[in-house]
Structure 1
Amino acid sequence: MELVVYLAGQIHDDWRDKLRQMAKERNLPLIFKGPQEDHDLSDDIGERIKGKQPNAVYRDQAASEVNNLRTRIWMQKADVVIALFGEKYRQWNTAMDAAMAIAAQKPLILIRPESLHHPLKELSQRAQLVVETPEQALDALAYVLE
C-alpha cells in the first residue's frame, strides 16, 4: 500500500527534502506532493500562464490562482496531510493548507514546536496527530503502514 502525503508548510528551508530522504532510507511506500518549492517559479507562474499583469497586486493574484489550483488538486488526491509550522517564518500558507485539509476531511498531522502550542491550540485540536518534529510525523506514518 502506498500513501500520498501532501507536505504543507514553509518553503524557506529543506524540511521536505529531509523528510523525503528519511522515508527513502526507511523504504516507506510514500509519494510526496506539496506546493511548488521553486519560490521564483511559484511567484512567476501566474504571468507565465496569464501574461504580464498591470501591477504587483494582480501579479500576486494570478500566481495565487495557479498555486491554489495545484494545492487543491494534490490535497484532494492526498491520503494524509502533514502541515509544518516553524519558529522563523510567518505561516499563512501553512494555516490555510491545514484548514483546507480539515475542511476536506483529510487526516492531518500537525508539526509544531512546543512554543507554538498556544497560538495553534484550536488547530491542534482538529488534527489527528500533533508532533514536534518531521521525524515523529514519519514514525507515525511508518506505524500506519505496519
Structure 2
Amino acid sequence: MRHWLYAAIGWTLLIFVLCWMPRTIVDQAGGEGGFMIPNLDKVAHSGLFAGFAFLWLKAAPVRKRLALVVLAGLAIAVITELGQLMPVVNREADIDDGLFDLLGIALGSIAYFGVFGRERVEEAVVAQAKGA
C-alpha cells in the first residue's frame, strides 16, 4: 500500500514541476502548445490530474477520500495556475487549464472506481461480516 502513497506524492510533485516550469524552458522544449498540436496542453492537464486522482484515491486510507481528493485537486489546480504568474515562471494563468484539470480529476476518479470499485465493495462486505 505504501508504494501507492509514494507514487501519489511523486505524481503531485511532477504536476508542480511541469506547471511551474519557466517559460524559457517550455519554449526550448517546443512551446506551450507542444509540437504544434492544437490544445495538447489541455490534454496534458487532464492527464496529469487524472493520474493525480487515480493515485490518491488508491493511496488514501480514509473513508471520505473522494471528497478530499477532489478538493485537494481543485486547490492544486488553482495554486499551479496562480504560480504561473510568478515572474520566475513567466507563464500565463488560464481558466481553461483549470477546467481541464477538473476534467482530469473526474476522469481519474471514474477510472479508479472502474478498476478498484469492486475490490472496495468486497472489502466493505468482508469487514461488515467480521463485525457482525
Same fold at TM > 0.5: no
Q: With structure 1 as the length reference, what TM-score do the two structures score? A: 0.29
Larger radius of gyration: 2
- Higher normalized strand content (fraction of residues): 1
- Give the structure with the larger helix fraction: 2
TM-score, normalising length from structure 2? 0.31
Q: Which has the higher contact order (CA 8 A, sep 6+)?
A: 2
